[in-house]
Structure 1
């Protein structure tokens, strides 16, 4: 295989009109350049340059070879640049947006590590439950947790995690009201609901079975932390993603209800305006979040 270094010296000699001029431009001795081009000709079995003491001209084969050699060097430079961009330390600012629960439970545990790993990176997080137009409002990444598929758009979507929504209640509530042994038992239990229209829970089992149950509304809130705290306080049974209630379950403040059943699944997706994901700083944040949030999927 031909050496890229030899191609480089040949191209420089042609571009500068001779070995002496190429030597002055590159700082490489004229004799070295001449020798490498001669060895290149020997490897090819063809003369590329007509040399005299006063002229330096390409042969017909040399002209064809020069065009391809120069293109090969351009491609080699581009390949090197791609790798160097990937390995360069990310810097600059990256603007994130997420809902308040997503920011608190999915981002807050990991953003300090992101800042430590990339000290030249400035991450700006805007937590809000209103709809955010990434392009119009100048955001680089949105982190969205959702139950239904996101609508098609011009944004690039990268799904990073999926986890079950589980039923939980405080041990004190279960001690007072009893622990449901079957989904139909939920009809006599108090429920902590996400909205007035969300009075029916669609439950499913790992084996594919499912059923619909209608517990008694006890409290309605469209905010996950309110439902979490209400469940811990013993007001009733709540349906929550595992990430949101895991710590309270591990501490014993909440217990699983009907552990063989789930109330759907929640997906976490990163959305990025087209092409912005190719920028080194934004790509670094995307890969970091995909790795960290991806570990929570259940």
Structure 2
């Protein structure tokens, strides 16, 4: 097999139109460039260049070899770049925006681990429940939790996870009002609802079972932490994402109601402007958030 470095000298000589110009471009003596091309021809057993004091012309074999050699060098450079881009440590500033519940129940645990993994990254986390225009406000990533599919906004979307919404209540509330044994029993219980327009709960159970129930409205709040605290205070039954209530369930502050049923699902999605998503630092953060257990 020929020396890849000799291919480089040969291609540079052809692209430069001669050994003298190639030597200036490469920073090697003209004699070195000429010698390496000569060794290449000897290894191939074929003349690649007709050269005189006034001309530098490729032979037919030289033209064919040049086409393949140039393509080989491009592939080699691409292979090197792909590896270097993977092993290079991400650095720079990455700006993230997310809602209060998403930060409290998802990102808060991930941020320290991300910072330890990439010490040269500077993460700027902006927490707000208002809608943020990533492009206009200069953010790299938005982390959004949603119940319906996000509209097509021209942003790149990458789904992180989908988790069920479950029904929970405080043990004291269930002791006082009784534990529902079927979806129909919820009509006799107080519900902690997200909005007056969401008085009906669409429940799904195993084997394709469906049920529509209407608990008695006790409180309306379109913010998950408020619903969580109200449920812990014993005000009624609340539908909340499973991850949001995991700690409360484990500690006994809440109890799951109707374990075989769930009230839909919530999806967490990362959004990023297309060009920003190509930056190595932004791409590293996205990959980490999508698969934190693998990335840590």
TM norm. shorter chain > 0.5: yes
Greater share of helix: 2
For 1:77-126, what per-residue CA distance to the aligned partner results, in whole angstroms no more than 9, with x for missing partners? 24422432332211111111111111111111110111111111111111
1:13-32 matched pairs, under 5 angstroms: 13-14=13-14, 15=16, 17-18=18-19, 22=23, 25-27=26-28, 30=31
- 2: CA distance between counterparts of 1:204 and 1:228? 21
Aligned-residue offset at 1:134: 0.9
Name the residue aligned to 1:154: 154
Name the TM-score, length of structure 1 as normaliser.
0.88
Question: Does the 8 A contact of 2:142 with 2:272 survive in 1?
Answer: yes
1:180-195 matched pairs, under 5 angstroms: 180-195=180-195
Name the residue aligned to 1:279: 279
In structure 2, the CA distance between the partners of 1:24 and 1:85, relative to structure 1 (3 Å rule), is closer
Structure 1 residue 84 and structure 2 residue 84: aligned?
yes
For 1:195-218, what per-residue CA distance to the aligned partner results, in whole angstroms no more than 9, with x for missing partners? 111111000013111010001111
In structure 2, the CA distance between the partners of 1:282 and 1:23, relative to structure 1 (3 Å rule), is closer
Structure 1 residue 4 and structure 2 residue 4: aligned?
yes
Name the residue aligned to 2:178: 178
In structure 2, the CA distance between the partners of 1:170 and 1:249, relative to structure 1 (3 Å rule), is same
Gaps of 5+ in 1: none
In structure 2, the CA distance between the partners of 1:21 and 1:190, relative to structure 1 (3 Å rule), is closer
Name the TM-score, length of structure 2 as normaliser.
0.89
Name the residue aligned to 1:137: 137
- 1: CA distance between counterparts of 2:32 and 2:200? 86
Gaps of 5+ in 2: none
In structure 2, the CA distance between the partners of 1:286 and 1:212, relative to structure 1 (3 Å rule), is same
Which 10-residue stretch deviates more, 79-88 or 19-28? 19-28
- 1: CA distance between counterparts of 2:173 and 2:72? 72
Name the residue aligned to 1:228: 228
- 1: CA distance between counterparts of 2:13 and 2:275? 39
| Equivalences, count | 293
1:1-298 matched pairs, under 5 angstroms: 2-14=2-14, 15=16, 17-18=18-19, 22=23, 25-27=26-28, 30=31, 34=35, 36-42=36-42, 44-50=44-50, 57-61=56-60, 62-292=62-292
